[in-house]
Amino acid sequence: MADPVIRFRDVSKVFRRPNGRGDLLAVDKLSFEVAPGEIVAVLGKTGCGKSTMFNLVAGLIEPTSGEVAVSGHNPFRDFEAFRGKIGIVFQGDRLMPWRTALANVLLGLEILDTDPKQAQKVARGWLERLGLGGHENDYPHALSGGMRQRVSIARAFAVEPQLLLCDEPFSALDEMTARDLRKEFVRLVRQNGKTAVFITHQISEAMEIGDRVLVCHRPARIAFEARMDREAPAGTRLEIQEKIMEVLSLEAGAGG
Amino acid sequence: MNDNLHLTRLLQATASTLVMIGLWQIASLFFPPYLFPPVPDIVSRTVGILLSWPLLAEVLLTAARIFAGLLGAFVLGCMMAVAIGRSPRIESYITPILVFLQGIPALSWVVIAIIWFHGIEFRIFFIMVMTTLPAFTFQILDAFRSMSKDLFEMTMSFRPRRWTLFRVLIVPTIVPGILTAWKVNLGNAARVVVVAELVGATGGVGYELLRQQQLFDMAGAIAWTLQLVLFVLVVQQTINAIEGWALRYRAVSERAI
């Protein structure tokens, strides 16, 4: 078996609350692996520590104990090693308001010192693929929520990352737009042979996107794991869905 | 719609200025010229300064002093803001000093500069820097701290080099704050430079104002004052134009506040 792209080994993360109000355990001895080319959906209630887990993979925060490895490197400490290796689609679009749609997609390519002509070609290509042709010179305020999120997806894909991380990227969109973008996202990940971690609090979204679904309880630890077989009969999928609901309902005291 | 609004505002500003000029002209009919000189006299003296190279050079000298002082304070303010932003310990040492400096009147700096330094230009530069430095530092620091955490994390996810991070995120974030700081400090600097020149210089608008006072020449005093006002207006408009270009991405609501 190929080396995992992501490996969590007994990872814990404790946040110190301000004003001496004690510590908050957000992730508790979490262990899991993600294989190359796999799409893993991480599912859990709001406040269960999914985003903390996400930030640990992205290298935005450091674990209090345990080991996080992405492609064999520490994502927090080996800052340079991950240049252009991770693409992130955040919950909000996080577009720079002073940059046009095209310039926002160009951001990662600029940081990677890509040849400007080549970068323009790549960025325009991604905007076109995501149905934003003709909006290259629009500023974010002139785009709808769905269009902005498409720009942020294009920005993440444009750098050709090995790993894609998505933190509830479609949660603020209407159902129709979210459904279209979900399909588009899965198609792009498969077509480009990426590995992806998709964080969500919606069971249907996790089951639709993930090859594997990890259900988290608070503080983030895996309470249930299911492998999704797309060829499986509807009954089997329904069983998995019921099991997930049961596991989620078992969690006491999680925020809504 | 916006064009109409601009035109209305321009007409309103013109109307209020004309009323003020009219009232002054009426007052000149009832009072001696050393109190209220006629408007045509003031206009001719003002234009005379602009058309005479030796007199215009005095205005330009003051303008150069303002720019030099502001530039000095801006560079120092940037350095201090970066130092404070990077270290809470430095902040706890420097901030009280800056707050203390803010409380010192410009006139006190004039006296201190005259006692401490011999060179006229350095005296004025010192006064300008000391009076505008705290505001520059705090405004740049505020602009830096208002940087969005979300955008910072998003940019960091691409692992930029330090210089690239500065170019793609920090500069665009702090530009609005820097432009505001320049606009605010320009007005302050124009007032302070006159005081500094009035007491400690042998040239410039402030020195010329002192001469007009000694001659009891009100038309001259107003004409020299107007040079400074004109200078500030021109620079403010230039900064506004730069601001309009740099912040062109901002959405504008059709409804006014």
Give this complex's ipTM: 0.84
Measured in angstroms, the CA of B72 and the nearest CA of chain A are apart by 29
The per-residue pLDDT for B254 is 60
The per-residue pLDDT for A237 is 80
User: The tokens of A109 are what?
Assistant: 């390519």
Measured between alpha carbons, how far is A87 from A94 in angstroms, rounded to an integer? 13
Q: Which amino acid does the sequence have at B15?
A: A
DSSP-assigned letter for residue A205: H
What is the band of A255 on the pLDDT scale with cuts at 50, 70, 90?
very low
Q: Which residues of A touch B146 (CB under 8 A)?
A: none
B179-212 confidence digits (pLDDT tens):
989 988 998 898 889 888 887 778 899 999 999 9
- Range A154-178 average pLDDT: 85
Disruptive mutation site among B157, B170, B171, B252 for chain A (greatest number of A CBs within 10 Å): B157
- Check pLDDT > 70 for residue A254: no
A10 against A192, higher pLDDT: A10
Phi-psi region of A66 (alpha: psi -120 to 50; beta: other; left: phi over 0): left
- Check pLDDT > 80 for residue A250: no
Say what percent of chain A tops pLDDT 70. 97
Sheet holding A23-34, edge to edge: A23-34, A6-16, A65-70
CB contact under 8 A, A112 and B158: yes
Using a CB–CB cutoff of 8 Å, tell me whether B157 touches chain A.
yes
Contacts of A102 (CB under 8 A, 6+ apart): A120, A123, A124, A127, A136, A137
The per-residue pLDDT for B139 is 92
Which of B155, B159, B251 comes nearest A79 by C-beta? B159
- Range A56-72 average pLDDT: 91
Give the pairing type, strands A23-34 and A6-16. Answer: antiparallel
A138-153 confidence digits (pLDDT tens):
999 999 988 998 899 9
Measured between alpha carbons, how far is B123 from B110 in angstroms, rounded to an integer? 8
Residue contacts between A and B (CB atoms, under 8 Å): 55
The per-residue pLDDT for B130 is 94
Q: Which residues of B touch A84 (CB under 8 A)?
A: 158-159
Q: Are B181 and B243 in contact (CB under 8 A)?
A: no
- Check pLDDT > 60 for residue A1: no
Give the pairing type, strands A195-200 and A212-217. Answer: unpaired
Q: Which residues of B touch A159 (CB under 8 A)?
A: 158
The per-residue pLDDT for A256 is 36
A114 against B254, higher pLDDT: A114
What is the band of A131 on the pLDDT scale with cuts at 50, 70, 90?
confident
Measured in angstroms, the CA of B182 and the nearest CA of chain A are apart by 21
Which of A60, A86, A87 comes nearest B153 by C-beta? A60
- Range A86-90 average pLDDT: 89
User: The tokens of B6 are what?
Assistant: 């601009």
Q: Which amino acid does the sequence have at B90?
A: I
Contact map slice: B 168-227 vs A, CB within 8 A = 168-169, 172
Q: Which residues of A touch B (CB under 8 A)?
A: 58, 60, 79-80, 82-84, 86-88, 90, 92, 94, 96-100, 107-108, 110-112, 139, 141-142, 159
The per-residue pLDDT for B252 is 66
CB contact under 8 A, A60 and B158: no
What is the band of A134 on the pLDDT scale with cuts at 50, 70, 90?
very high
- Range A68-77 average pLDDT: 90
Whole-structure pTM over 0.95, yes or no? no
Q: Are A57 and A197 in contact (CB under 8 A)?
A: yes
Q: Which residue of A has its CA nearest to B245?
A: A98
Measured in angstroms, the CA of B92 and the nearest CA of chain A are apart by 19
Q: Which residues of chain B have pLDDT under 50?
A: none
Measured in angstroms, the CA of B133 and the nearest CA of chain A are apart by 29
Q: Which residues of A touch B251 (CB under 8 A)?
A: 139, 141-142
Measured between alpha carbons, how far is B87 from B94 in angstroms, rounded to an integer? 11
The per-residue pLDDT for A24 is 85
Measured in angstroms, the CA of B164 and the nearest CA of chain A are apart by 7
Mean pLDDT, chain A, rounded, equals 86
Q: Which amino acid does the sequence have at A245?
A: M
CB contact under 8 A, A98 and B172: yes
CB contact under 8 A, B168 and A108: no
- Check pLDDT > 80 for residue A221: no
Among A107-116, A246-255, B72-81, whose mean pLDDT is lowest?
A246-255
